[in-house]
A and B are shown apart, each in its own frame.
Chain A
Amino acid sequence: MKVLVSWLREFVDVPGTPAEIAATMSVRGFAVESIDAAGADDAVLDFEVTANRPDCMSVLGMAREVATAFGLPLRVPAVAPPGDRLALAPLSPVARAEVDVVIEAPELCPRYTAAVADVAVGPSPEWMQARLRAAGVRPISNVVDITNYVLLELGHPMHAFDLSTLAGAEIRVRPAHAGETLKTLDGQTRTLTPEMLVIADAQRACAVAGVMGGADSEVHDGTVTIALESACFDPLSVRRTSRRLGLKTEASMRFERGADPEAAATAMARACALLAATGTGTARGAIIDRHPAPAAPRSLRLRRERLAALIGLAIPDADVTRLLGALGFGLRPTADGWDVAVPTRRVDVLREVDLVEEVARHHGFDRVPVSFPALTTPPAPIDPRISRARQLRSVLTGAGFFETMTFGFVSATAAAPFAAADDIVPIANPLSETFAVLRPSVLPGLLAAVAHNRRREQRDVRLFEVGNAFTRAAGERRRVACAWTGASSVAHWSGTGGDVDFFDIKAIVERICQTVRVDISVAPHHEAWLAPGRAGAVLAGTTRLGVLGQLAPALADQYGLPAHDAVYVAELDLDAAETCARAGDVRMEPLPRFPSVARDLSLLVDDTLPVAALRQTALAVAPATLQSVREFDRYQGKGVPDGKVSVSIRLTFRSPERTLTDAEVQAATDAVLAALVSTHRAVQR
C-alpha cells in the first residue's frame, strides 16, 4: 500500500522523517518495502499490509495505525470542518431517486449505496492526479479519479456507471445467468456462471460485482450523468469469482479480504463531496442506501489475566484502554477485564486473542520480556530415524560420497524406468513437464546430478541422497540412493586402482546395511534399467530392500553420461530396512582365548556357480569350529579350462574351548572338500 506522507499528515500530525515513520511502523506490523522521494519535501512509503487487514489498505487506515503508534490524535473526515477537503456531504437514505436499486442476493451483497450525479467529464485537479500517481494509480478522468481517490483514501472500492447506458435506469444485484457474457473494462469478453454476482440493469450484466466494471457502461468523455456505486460484497463470492475469471483488481483484493459496510456509506458521501468540491458534478437528489439487515457490531470479552498470560507480561489497564481506544475499539470495564465493541472495519478481530494481539502489537513486542517454557513432563525421545539418518550420512560421506538434495518431483520420462506407468503419482497442476510426477525413486534426481557434475570436469563422482520416493502401490517411502562413477580410489602418484565396479558399490550397500543394523545377502537380479548380469537384489531374509548394479548404458545415455564410464548405483528402502533391523543393544561376544587355524583350498568349478553356494556347502558340512569361509582369489585364463574358474577359499577354524589339533582340522577340511567335490563337481587344483 503506497502512502504519500503529506496525505497521511492530513489525518495525523506525525512528526519525524519518512524513514523514522517507517522504522516505527515496521515493528507495529507494517513493514515498509520502500521509501521513495516524491518531489522536494514529500515521500511515498510502501507499506506491506498483511492479508488480515483490509482496513489498512487505505491512507485513513494507515493513519489510524500511525496515530496509535505515535500516541497522536486522528482526524477523521467526518469531524473535519466544513469547506475542508475532508468534509462529507450529508447522507440521507431514501427509497427512490433517479435510479432504482434491487438486491436480489442479499446474502452476497449486504449493502448497496448509489447516487446519481450530473457531471462534466474532464481531467481531475492536478493535486488529485499527483496523489493518484504517487500511489501508483494512473489518472483517467475526474469521475474515475474521484472513485479511485476515495478507494485510496478510505479503502472502499467504488464504481461509476454511465447512467444513460443502464437500461431501465435500474441496478439489479443478482447472480449471473449461465453463459451470460460481459465485456469488462480491460476489453476482454468474459463468460459468467451463476456462482458469480453481477451488477445488472434491466436487461444485462453491467459489472462483475466487486471485481470489475463493464466496458459498455464505462464513463467516457461524453458522459453527462453517472450512477455511483459504493457497495459491500461477500468476500468468499468475490474471491471465487476473481479466481475463476483470473482477474485480480484493487477492488477484488479489498472485497475478498472483507469490506466494512459502514465504509460503503462513508465512501459514497465522500465521493459526492469530491464531485462538488472539484467542480466535476452535482449529486442529483439523495443517496440511495439499501442495507436490509445491518449486522450488530461485534462485542468481545477481554480478560486481564488471559492478556497477561499470553504475552507473559502484565500491561497496565490504562495502556490497554488507550491503545484499543486509539484503534477505535469501544471499551467497557468488567470485573475481570473489558467488554470490547469491535469497529465494523475490523473484520480480522473475531475473538479475544485478536484483541490480545492488538494490545501486544502496539504496546511493543520489544517490551515483551524474555523467558523459557517450563518443562513439566519428561522430554520425549528423539525419533531414532533422525539419528540413524545422521549415521548414514557420516558413513557415506566417510566413504567419499557427497550428499545431494534433489526435488521430490521429476519428469514423466525420468520416472518411467523406475516404476510402471500406473504406479506413478502424477501432479495435478505441475509447474512444468520437468516436475510432472512424484519421483518413484531417488535415482533420477541423483543421476541428473551425476550428469551435471560430469559436464563440469568432474570425472569421479560419488553422490548419495536420503529422501522419500512415492508410488501408488507403496505410498511414500524413505529411501537412500547412491551413485558412483569414475575411479574406485583417489588418483595417486604411486599408482591407482581401477575404475569403480560392482564390488565397490556392493561394499557401500553392505556398509549402509551395517549402519541400519540389517543382515543382508545379495542375489542375482534382473532390472531393465540395470546392465544385464551386473545387477543384484539386496535381501534381508526374503524381504527385498532394494537393488544395486551398473546403470544400463541406454539409460546412462539418456542422462548424457558417456558410454565409456560405467555408473554404479544402489537404492534401498529405509522403511523396509527398519522393519528387518536388529533391535535392542548389542551383546558383547567374549574374545577368543585359543588360536585359529586356517586351511586354503584351490578349486576348479563351473564359472556359473555362485561362490555363495561353495560357502554354504562348506558351512553346512563342517563342524561348528569352522568360523568363516572366505574367497581370496579368483582366476580365469591360462591353465583354466573354458567354462571353469579357479577359486581359492580360506577356511578358518577355531574352538572357544581348546586349541584345535592338526588332525581334526585336516579331517574337517577333507570333509569340506569332499562335499564341494560331490555337490558342485569341484576339482582341487
Chain B
Amino acid sequence: MSSPIDVSVIDAVRERFRARLASASSDADIKAVTDEFLSRKAGAVTVLMKQLSSLPADDRRAFGAAVNALKTEIETALDGARALLESSRPPAGAVDVTLAARDRAIGRVHPLMQVRQQVEDIFARMGYEILEGPEVEDDFHNFEALNMPPDHPARDMQDTLYLGVPTVGGTWGAHRGAVPPSQVRAATLLRTHTSAMQIRYMKTYAPPLRILVPGRVYRRDNLDLTHTPMFQQCEGLVVGERVSLSDLKGTFETMLRALFGDVTVRLRPSFFPYTEPSAEVDISCRSCGGSGCGVCKHTGWLEILGSGMVHPAVFEAVGYDPDKVSGFAFGMGMERVAMLKYGVDDIRLFYENDIRFLEQFPI
C-alpha cells in the first residue's frame, strides 16, 4: 500500500474557492471565480493538474482523483451559483410594482353636502319626503305665516337680505304635481330659513305629512369664525293627528345617534315664534364625553338644532285646524354638524373651497 498522498494543496484551493464563491454576487463575479479556478491556462485546478507529472507514480492516481473531485465540486457549485443568480433575476416583461400608479383624477363631494346627504338618508329611511324649495321668498312665507308679523321682535333674530326688485322663485314639487299658485311669483327677500317651505308645502298639500327640506339660506351676517352670510339648513316638518313632543324626541334621538354615534340627546326649552313648545336639542360633547371642555364651553353639551311643536298660528295661516292636527318642526345647520363631526374650527373653510381642505373628506 502506498502512503497517503499530501492533499493539503488541494484543500487549500477548495477553501479559497469557497471563500471566493461566497462573496460572488453577480455574473461578473462568477465569471471571475470560474476563470480563477477553471481557466485552462492558469486556473487553480489546472495548476494542480499540472503538478501531477511531478508526483511519484504511486501517488498520481489518488492525487488525480482528488483534483477531479475538486473540479467537479467547483463546477457544480458554480452551476448552482449561476442558477441561483438567474432565478433571482426578474422575468422578461416584469414591472416595478412599487412605481407610482397612473392616477385618475378624483374629486370630492363638498363636506357640507356629505353631511346633508347623510341627514337626507336618515330621514328617507323614516319615510320623509325630501324636496328642495326656492331660495328667494316673500315676506308672508318667510315671516308672517310663521307667526312673525311685521315689526315682530323675533325678526331681529334673523337679519334679512332684501331684493332690489321682485323676482320669480325657483319651481318646486314637480314630482308631486305642485300647482302653479304655490310657486314664488314675486320674491322680495332671500329666505332666512328653510322654514318658509313649511308654509308653501302645507298650503299646497293636506296633512298628514312628513318632509325634509334641505337648502341654502341667507342672513345679513358678516363672515367670521362662526358666521357666514349664506349657510345650509335642513328643515323638517311632521304633521298628523296626535303628533307629540315625545315623537319629536324619539325622532331626534334616532337621527343624532345615526349622525354622531353613541351620544346622549337632551331637549332644552327655548323660543321660536313658529313653535310652541320650542326646544333646543343638545348632544353630549364628543370631545370630553360630557365632563366639560373648551369645545362645549364647559357645559358638557353641544347645541345642535332648534325645534318645537308647530305653533297653532302657523296651522291657522295655512288653513289647517290646530284642534285636529299637531306636528313638530326643526331646523338644523349643516355647518354646525360638519364642524362638530369633522373638527372644523373656522366656518369660512367651507366657502373658500380650497382643494387641500376638500380632499380631506371621504370619496
Contacts and interface: CB of A to CB of B under 8 A. Distances in A.
Do A and B actually bind? yes
Interface of A: 26-29, 31, 50-53, 235-236, 239-240, 256-257, 309-313, 351, 353-354, 356-357, 360-361, 365-366, 368-377, 379-386, 390, 393-394, 396-409, 425-431, 435, 438, 449, 452-453, 456, 458, 460-464, 467-468, 470, 472, 474-478, 489-490, 492-494, 575, 578
Pick from A376, A408, A426, A478 the residue with the most CB of B within 10 Å.
Answer: A408
A354 B312 CA distance: 10
B4 interface: no
A309 B107 contact: no
B229 A407 contact: yes
Contacts of A578: 174
Given A452-B354, A462-B107, A408 B271 contact: no
Interface of B: 99-100, 102-110, 112-113, 117, 120, 124, 126-132, 134-136, 151, 153-154, 156-157, 161-165, 167-176, 184, 187, 190, 208-211, 214, 216, 218, 220-222, 228-230, 232, 238, 240-247, 249-251, 253-254, 266-271, 273, 276-280, 299, 309, 311-312, 322, 326, 328, 350-356, 358-359, 363
B170 A373 contact: no
A376 B207 CA distance: 10
Given A361-B277, A401-B107, A575-B171, A353 B247 contact: no
B355 A51 contact: no
B148 to A, nearest CB: 11
A118 B269 CA distance: 46
10 tightest A-B contacts by CB?
A400-B105, A312-B246, A475-B168, A312-B244, A29-B269, A50-B271, A426-B164, A357-B277, A380-B129, A476-B170
Given A386-B130, A397-B109, A468-B170, A310 B222 contact: no
B163 A405 contact: no
Given A310-B244, A382-B130, A370 B105 contact: no
Contact of B153 (A28, A256, A357): A256
Contacts of B170: 468, 475-478, 575
Nearest to B215: A468
Contacts of A371: 244, 246-247, 249-250
Contacts of A27: 266, 268-269
Nearest to A373: B247
B129 A381 contact: yes
A373 B110 CA distance: 32
B267 A397 contact: no
Given A400-B105, A476-B170, A312 B110 contact: no
Contacts, number: 291
B167 A51 contact: no
Contact of A383 (B132, B232, B266, B279): B132
Nearest to A492: B102
Contacts of B154: 51-52
Contacts of A435: 229
B238 A373 contact: yes
Nearest to B359: A402
A372 B251 contact: yes
Given A402-B359, A493-B99, A426 B165 contact: yes
6 contacts: A312-B247, A353-B311, A386-B120, A452-B352, A462-B107, A476-B135
Given A51-B156, A468-B135, A475-B167, A402 B276 contact: no
A382 B328 CA distance: 20
Nearest to A354: B276
B163 A425 contact: yes
B244 A379 contact: no
A182 B164 CA distance: 34
A400 B104 contact: yes
B109 A380 contact: no
Nearest to B322: A353
A382 B245 contact: no
A399 B105 contact: yes
Contacts of A312: 244-247, 249
B253 A370 contact: yes
A511 to B, nearest CB: 13
Contacts of A462: 105, 107
A401 B243 CA distance: 44
Nearest to A236: B151
A351 B220 contact: no
B100 A493 contact: yes
Nearest to A407: B230
B110 A382 contact: no
B312 A353 contact: yes
Given A386-B120, A405-B353, A435-B229, A365 B136 contact: no
A407 B351 contact: yes
Pick from A377, A426, A467, A474 the residue with the most CB of B within 10 Å.
Answer: A377
Contacts of A310: 244-245, 277, 309, 326
A52 B279 CA distance: 14
Nearest to A351: B312
B89 to A, nearest CB: 23
Given A385-B174, A404-B353, 8 more contacts: A29-B270, A365-B269, A398-B106, A399-B105, A403-B108, A438-B190, A453-B354, A458-B356
A309 B244 contact: yes
A357 B221 CA distance: 31
A393 B126 CA distance: 24
A18 to B, nearest CB: 13
Nearest to A432: B222
Pick from A29, A377, A403, A467 the residue with the most CB of B within 10 Å.
Answer: A403
A365 B250 CA distance: 12
Nearest to B251: A372
Contacts of A382: 124, 129-131, 175
A256 to B, nearest CB: 6
Nearest to A387: B130
B354 A456 contact: yes
A400 B246 contact: no
Given A368-B245, A452-B353, A476-B167, A400 B269 contact: no
Contacts of A370: 246, 249-250, 253
Contacts of A390: 117
Contacts of A429: 161-162, 220
Contacts of B244: 309-313, 371
Pick from A379, A477, A575 the residue with the most CB of B within 10 Å.
Answer: A379
A28 B242 CA distance: 24
Contact of A396 (B102, B107, B165): B107
Nearest to A35: B298
Contacts of A401: 107
A449 B349 CA distance: 12
A374 B271 contact: no
A239 B153 CA distance: 8
A402 B107 contact: yes
Contacts of B156: 51
A257 B152 CA distance: 9
A312 B240 CA distance: 14
A257 to B, nearest CB: 6
B353 A309 contact: no
Contacts of A360: 245, 269, 277
A402 B355 contact: yes
Contacts of A256: 153
Contacts of B218: 408-409
Nearest to B220: A431
B96 to A, nearest CB: 10
A373 B245 CA distance: 10
A240 B152 CA distance: 10
B267 A365 contact: yes
Contact of B358 (A402, A407, A474): A402
B363 A397 contact: yes
Pick from A29, A401, A426 the residue with the most CB of B within 10 Å.
Answer: A29
B212 to A, nearest CB: 9
B99 A476 contact: no
A456 B354 CA distance: 8
